[in-house]
Amino acid sequence: MVKIKAKGLKWLKGFHMIAVSCWVGGAFSLILLYFLKNGVDNSGVLYGINRSIHHVDIAVIVIPGAFGSLVTGLIYSAFSNWGFFKHKWMIFKWIVTVAAILFGTFFLGPWETNMMEISGKIGIASLNDPEYLYNEKVNLIFGIIQVLVLMVTIFVSIFKPWRASKDKNQPIK
């Protein structure tokens, strides 16, 4: 099997870290943007905040970062000695990555899109709309949980726990 040389792996790791930074940093930014809604009394401002959250997530930072993490992780696993399932910590990373992308795709994204659409239609009345409030609540709660799990995954990647005894003598990369 073809392997990427050390310099190529460093470049790939750099691109992987940029993608991870976009994903986690963007997701953290989405949580902070939610708090801009406190005290909003203007329909346009509310919609603008929801539209900004949607834009940061879907178009420019979070989703591209998530898929960049997935793709660079696939390349890294396929063309380096780390492999896909050779290490328990790597299996954990794959499970979290795929689960987070799927959860974001089927739950977080639709909740967020629904909030944007509702605030675009009924404006400031959204803040009293049960559907809007439900979407906002679950998106915020599960968004925070997802960011925390992704942060844990970063530390799992750094510390590489659950290493097999034969791996403990190998240098940490």
The answer to whether the CB of 147 falls within 8 A of the CB of 24 is: yes
What is residue 165's predicted lDDT score, i.e. its pLDDT? 47
* Cα–Cα distance, 3 to 12 (Å, whole number): 12
The answer to whether the CB of 96 falls within 8 A of the CB of 146 is: no
Please tell me the pTM assigned to this model. Answer: 0.90
The first and second tokens of residue 168, run together, are 């403990």
The answer to whether the CB of 90 falls within 8 A of the CB of 84 is: yes
Geometric angle at alpha carbon 97, from 29 and 59, rounded to 5°: 45
Amino acid at position 60, single letter? V
Q: Where are the domains of the chain?
A: 6-158
Mean per-residue pLDDT pooled into runs of 10, the chain (173 residues): 90 97 97 94 97 94 97 94 89 96 97 98 98 98 98 95 62 53
What is residue 14's predicted lDDT score, i.e. its pLDDT? 97
In whole angstroms, how large is the CA radius of gyration of the chain?
A: 19
